[in-house]
Amino acid sequence: MPVENPDVVVIGAGAAGAALTWRLSEHGAKVVCLEQGDWVNPIDYPSQYSDFEARMLRGGDFSLSPNVRRRPEDYPVSVANNGGFRPSISMFNAVGGTTIHWQAHFPRFHPSDFRVKSLDGVADDWPLTYQDLEPYYNLNDRMMGVSGLHGDPANPPRIPRATPPLPVGRYGDTLIRGYEKMGWHWWVADQAIISRAYDGRPPCLLHGKCMYGCPIGSKASTDRTYWPKALANGAILETWARSREVMVDSRGRVRGVLYYDRDGILQEQPGKIVVVCCNGVGTPRLLLNSKSRYFPDGLANSNGMVGRNFMVHPTRFVEGIFRETLDGHIGPFGAPLYSQEFYETDLSRGFVRGYTMVSGRTYGPLAHSRQVPWGANHHLEMARHFPHTAGIAALCEDLPNENNRIDLDPDLTDSHGIPAPRVTYTLGDNTTQMLEHGAARATEVLKAAGATEVRDARGNANMAHLMGTARMGIDPRRSVVNPANQAHDVGNLFIVDGSSFVTSAGVNPTSTIGALALRAADGIWERRGEWN
């Protein structure tokens, strides 16, 4: 049921929505959050069962793709086939959002990531700096609980991590050997997985099934970090509430949200402020579906920029097979270590900007078996692969391109008949060069580490990072929100998630999404005099 007279209506209960709701509720705002999914009971996590890999990999109910998973709370996403690389779209729709099954990498942007135009002459500068965001990175770190080690020469100094680094195991030691032989940078990763008890949550037990759901809550997912605190502050979370459109009043200001409740009944939730936190695909979809007399092309879209500049972090996975027995299938799934040797721009490499080499751990035997032929040699080949592989992913910065976009599919709808998003994406030349460079450097590291065979595991792929489709900027002609995440077109509408990213950087985005959400919440609260 709609809540009477809330100050702020937040749409989406994932990384951004949770952080923003908590911060506003700390200040004393009356907040209601609409979430199309439900709470996920940890007893339902695949990690608890022997078919855990199948439930993610084969297309079960924990698949990364909503198109495969097809839970009632999911919506379909179409991807236009333009003959080239087609990004896979991953997300999870629930309280906690995609943090339910993320790997919990927790790097930060570099200062240069906010100044790409000034420094490298490409894309656009962010209208804020690393220093503007730093206090919110720190606050978000404290709220989520981070393991790691400060002192990395590739990153600005930061406050000590809440808990020490997680073990890297034989798997990590092997990769370290490679980086050391090459004389390249590496560092033990910041992870939103605690290595010691922290804030009422137990330390990681190293089971190695983080992506299949962490039932004990050592991995930070916002249903375990922000939401209990937000609810204790009085925030209201309405689950099974699928937003259809954001409504505007006769002055063109947002007046509330039209949503289907758990019984499928259309409700209107009024609010003085509406904050859209539906990820880089869901947010433009909702805005484009919110058409009115004032906004015939979609809410906050007077300049046609909503949905444009979609970015995904193209990635190349390179895998090495080693003689020694490794332990990639135990320990925290996220990267034990990373290298930013090739992060900052060096034009002699043939491209601008850069990438992180992420050394995530490996899946279990079922995932490994997929690369192994059937028949007489099956067991020998399997024994050669498992547990003997280590991999490196070159996670590349994706530069914004207005033609890479989300719009509405003319035919496809969700179970409520709401038009589905459609992705159109072309891999840029700069990114292609970067991917090749990353694959070659990853190969060198793995060989230096002692791999007997190195293979480019999957060709070009992409991460589950959905960014750029309601970009931030000072110029209302070229951006959707201002530096406070406030829509240029509508004063009481805010957009806070990966869609507000101006550029993607070459690192995982979630810590930056959380920091932006906390900062936006403070801005909304500071201007509470303008709410009515």
Please select the residue that binds another protein; options are 7, 35, 53, 409, rule is CB under 8 A.
53
Question: In the complex, what is the shortest distance from the CB of residue 194 to another protein, in angstroms, rounded to a whole number?
Answer: 14
Cα torsion 488, 490, 493, 494 to 10°: value is: 0
List the structure tokens of 327: 């332990």
Please tell me whether residue 227 binds another protein under the rule CB under 8 A: no
Question: Of 72-80, 271-279, 338-346, 420-428, which part binds another protein (CB under 8 A)?
Answer: 338-346
Render the burial of 235-258: b for 16+ CB within 10 Å, e for the rest: bbbbbbbbbbbbbbeeeeebbbbe
Please tell me whether residue 150 binds another protein under the rule CB under 8 A: no
Question: In the complex, what is the shortest distance from the CB of residue 383 to another protein, in angstroms, rounded to a whole number?
Answer: 7
Render the burial of 194-221: b for 16+ CB within 10 Å, e for the rest: bbeebeebebbeebbbbbbbbbebbbbb
Render the burial of 400-436: b for 16+ CB within 10 Å, e for the rest: bbeebbbbbbeeeebeeebbbbbbbbebbebbbebbb
138 to 147, 192, 300, 514, 526: CA distances (angstroms): 13, 13, 31, 10, 20
List the structure tokens of 194: 């605690």
List the structure tokens of 422: 């459609």
Peptide bond into 153 cis (omega under 30): no
Which residue's CB is nearer to another protein, number 5 or number 50?
Answer: 50
Which residue's CB is nearer to another protein, number 307 or number 336?
Answer: 336
List the structure tokens of 292: 């009115």
Please tell me whether residue 151 binds another protein under the rule CB under 8 A: yes
Please tell me whether residue 197 binds another protein under the rule CB under 8 A: no
Sequence-ordered strand ranges (E) for 153-241 = 187-188, 236-238
Cβ neighbours of residue 296 closer than 8 Å, sequence gap 6 or more:
none
List the structure tokens of 256: 């509330």
Interface positions, 81-110, toward another protein (CB under 8 A): 110
Please tell me whether residue 494 binds another protein under the rule CB under 8 A: no
CA 186 – CA 170 distance, rounded (Å): 16
Question: Of 137-145, 279-287, 327-335, 446-454, which part binds another protein (CB under 8 A)?
Answer: 327-335
Which residue's CB is nearer to another protein, number 21 or number 218?
Answer: 218
Please select the residue that binds another protein; options are 3, 38, 39, 54, rule is CB under 8 A.
54
Q: Give the distance from CA 347 to its chain's centroid.
A: 28
Please tell me whether residue 380 binds another protein under the rule CB under 8 A: yes
Which residue's CB is nearer to another protein, number 55 or number 488?
Answer: 55
Interface positions, 20-49, toward another protein (CB under 8 A): 47-48
One character per residue 381-420, x = contact with another protein (rule: CB under 8 A): -xx--xx---------------------------------
One character per residue 161-190, x = contact with another protein (rule: CB under 8 A): ---xxxxxx--xx--x---x--x-xxxx--
Say which amino acid occupies 516.
L
Please tell me whether residue 65 binds another protein under the rule CB under 8 A: no
Please select the residue that binds another protein; options are 375, 410, 417, 529, rule is CB under 8 A.
375
Residues that bind another protein (CB under 8 A): 47-48, 50-51, 53-54, 58, 110-112, 114-115, 118-119, 129-130, 149, 151, 153-156, 164-169, 172-173, 176, 180, 183, 185-188, 205-208, 215-216, 325, 327, 329-331, 340-341, 343-344, 364-366, 369-370, 374-376, 378-380, 382-383, 386-387
